[in-house]
């Protein structure tokens, strides 16, 4: 979902994004429509903590992986996706926003699935280093196996 120009991303706006994601998952990936069949990785952004967002996630029984505070390097977007996207775009000049969107879409589609899977192995490695009490390594492995399709689902919503 494109954020309209001048729109602030609030809890209610993010809720509308989650509702769209929920419908898309149920429609396109029916094997992930059952509660607990996929996981959502959230960082500590205020919109992720909004009451309406939390209520929606509980109501839909979405399993949420909360990003530990002060561990920025646990976000696959920060250590994998954004740097990977920037490389082919570096140094290019674009005529307009549509040119930028086209270039980013092409870059996203060019990312090999194996690279994405390696990024999640890296997430496992990073999480292992910063595990908190009560979180077992096997639980993280199970979560990551279910999380890879969600990343592609999120990318397909963008593309």
CATH code of residue 117: 3.30.420.10
- Euclidean distance between CA atoms 101 and 158, whole angstroms: 10
Segments in the chain below pLDDT 50: 132-159
Confirm whether 2 is domain-assigned: no
Amino acid 155: pLDDT: 40
pTM above threshold 0.75:
no
* Number of domains within the chain: 1
The domain of 76 spans: 11-158
CA separation, residue 68 to residues 14, 47, 61 (Å): 20, 16, 21
Q: Are 21 and 157 in contact (CB under 8 A)?
A: yes
Q: What is the pLDDT of residue 30?
A: 82
Separation of alpha carbons 17 and 153, rounded Å: 13
Total Cβ atoms within 10 A of residue 39: 17
Helix, strand or coil, per DSSP, at residue 62: coil
Residue 145 lies in a domain: yes
């Amino acid at each position: 979902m494109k954020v309209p120009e001048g729109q602030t991303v609030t809890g209610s706006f993010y809720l509308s994004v989650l509702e769209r994601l929920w419908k898309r998952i149920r429609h396109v990936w029916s094997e992930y429509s059952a509660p607990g069949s996929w996981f959502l990785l959230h960082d500590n952004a205020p919109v992720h903590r909004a009451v309406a967002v939390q209520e929606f996630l509980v109501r839909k029984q979405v399993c949420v992986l909360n990003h530990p505070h002060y561990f920025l390097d646990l976000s696959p977007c920060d250590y994998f996706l954004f740097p990977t996207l920037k490389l082919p775009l570096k140094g290019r000049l674009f005529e307009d926003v549509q040119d930028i969107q086209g270039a980013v879409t092409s870059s996203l589609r060019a990312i090999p699935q194996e690279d994405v899977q390696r990024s999640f192995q890296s997430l496992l490695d990073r999480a292992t280093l910063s595990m908190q009490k009560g979180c077992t390594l096997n639980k993280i492995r199970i979560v990551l196996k279910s999380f890879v399709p969600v990343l592609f689902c999120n990318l397909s919503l963008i593309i």
